[in-house]
Structure 1
Amino acid sequence: MVSALGLDLGAKRIGVAGCDRTGLIATGLTTLRRTSFDSMVNPLRELIRARSVEVLVIGLPYTMDGQIGRQAKKIQKLACRLSRSLDLPVEFVDERLTSFQAEQMLLAERRSPSRHKELIDRKAAAIILQQWLDNRRERFDQSSDQPVGLPCSAHSLIP
């Protein structure tokens, strides 16, 4: 199985998730404060090295009608920059409603979403990565030759 990091890229924070060695379960790892590009890249580089990560799985915020809006285009640009800096391929996952799902999980745990924003980001990243793992497993069941991520280039961005 491939080792992946799931990222929920926000303006202030980045939720980070990893998967177990079997590639079955995604777990929130940490939340990074986003103050500069280096404030993201350096801790990610350490996680990538420690976990032998081979692909970045990044949530892409489609609009509710399934279009690529302004925010999604910003995320694509940032994802490409991260891909080049970290020398890793990127795969995008539709992240619509992942933060809402994460908030609902907190409410079920009787925790206040407004007091646990960093936890929401980690949980959202885990949801993004879990979607990718589940989807990948389904693709592998249908075919044994599936590529691992795409190198970031103009044609790898979702139109």
Structure 2
Amino acid sequence: MRILGLDYGDKTIGVAVSDEMGWTAQGVEVIRRKNGESDLGRLRQLVDEYGVEAFVLGMPKNMNGTIGPRGEASIEFADILRETFGLPVHLWDERLTTVSAHRTLIEADVSRKKRKQVVDKLAASFILQGYLDSMTKR
């Protein structure tokens, strides 16, 4: 069962996909957001291409665990995904995933320009991998 991991932001959507066994997450792409129809259209193509059966959507929470405006936007987007695709959407705490993605890229000596292009894809991979790891511990 393949799962699509998403790092949903104001300007981009980082996308990762699991392997068929649901063990590892691989970054796929960064969707530059244009409008809802275009964004969902690209996600539809990815769902079809990879045979996706569920989504894991990053849920940004404040450090104290409360949900702010970005978290509310993610909840709304989760509802849109459920309506549009008829697939389960799992919200996953994404606190510090983008920070971790930046650190990983800096440690790998990736240029600032290149980091900007891939950080959301890597963050989506971290979100999805965290979810997958939690499922194997059950």
Normalising to structure 2: TM-score of the pair?
Answer: 0.95
Q: Provide the rounded CA distance (Å) in 2 between the counterparts of 1:71 and 1:112.
A: 28
Cα deviation for residue 91 of structure 1 reads: 0.2
Map of 1:35 onto structure 2: 34
Q: Aligned partner of 2:91: which letter? A: F
Map of 1:109 onto structure 2: 108
Map of 1:74 onto structure 2: 73
Cα deviation for residue 114 of structure 1 reads: 5.1
Map of 2:14 onto structure 1: 15
Cα deviation for residue 74 of structure 1 reads: 1.2
Q: Provide the rounded CA distance (Å) in 1 between the counterparts of 2:65 and 2:44.
A: 32
Instruction: Deviation per CA, 1:3-53: give whole Å up to 9, x if none.
Output: 100000000000000011221110100100111001211111111111111
Q: Provide the rounded CA distance (Å) in 1 between the counterparts of 2:99 and 2:116.
A: 12
Structure 1, unaligned stretches of length 5 or more? Answer: 140-159
Structure 2, unaligned stretches of length 5 or more? Answer: none
SS across alignment from 1:44: helix
- Aligned pair count reads 138
Q: Aligned partner of 2:63: which letter? A: M
Instruction: Deviation per CA, 1:109-156: give whole Å up to 9, x if none.
Output: 1013454223000000000000010011112xxxxxxxxxxxxxxxxx
For the pair 1:56 / 2:47, whether they are aligned, the reply is no
Q: Provide the rounded CA distance (Å) in 2 between the counterparts of 1:122 and 1:61.
A: 16
Q: 2:4–2:15: 8 Å Cα contact kept in structure 1?
A: yes
Q: Provide the rounded CA distance (Å) in 2 between the counterparts of 1:113 and 1:67.
A: 31
For the pair 1:138 / 2:137, whether they are aligned, the reply is yes
Q: 1:41–1:86: 8 Å Cα contact kept in structure 2?
A: no
Q: 1:15–1:118: 8 Å Cα contact kept in structure 2?
A: no
Q: Provide the rounded CA distance (Å) in 2 between the counterparts of 1:30 and 1:131.
A: 18
Larger strand fraction of residues: 2
Q: Aligned partner of 2:92: which letter? A: V
Query: What do you get for the CA RMSD once the two structures are aligned?
Result: 1.1
Q: Provide the rounded CA distance (Å) in 1 between the counterparts of 2:37 and 2:55.
A: 17
Q: Percent identity of the aligned residues?
A: 38
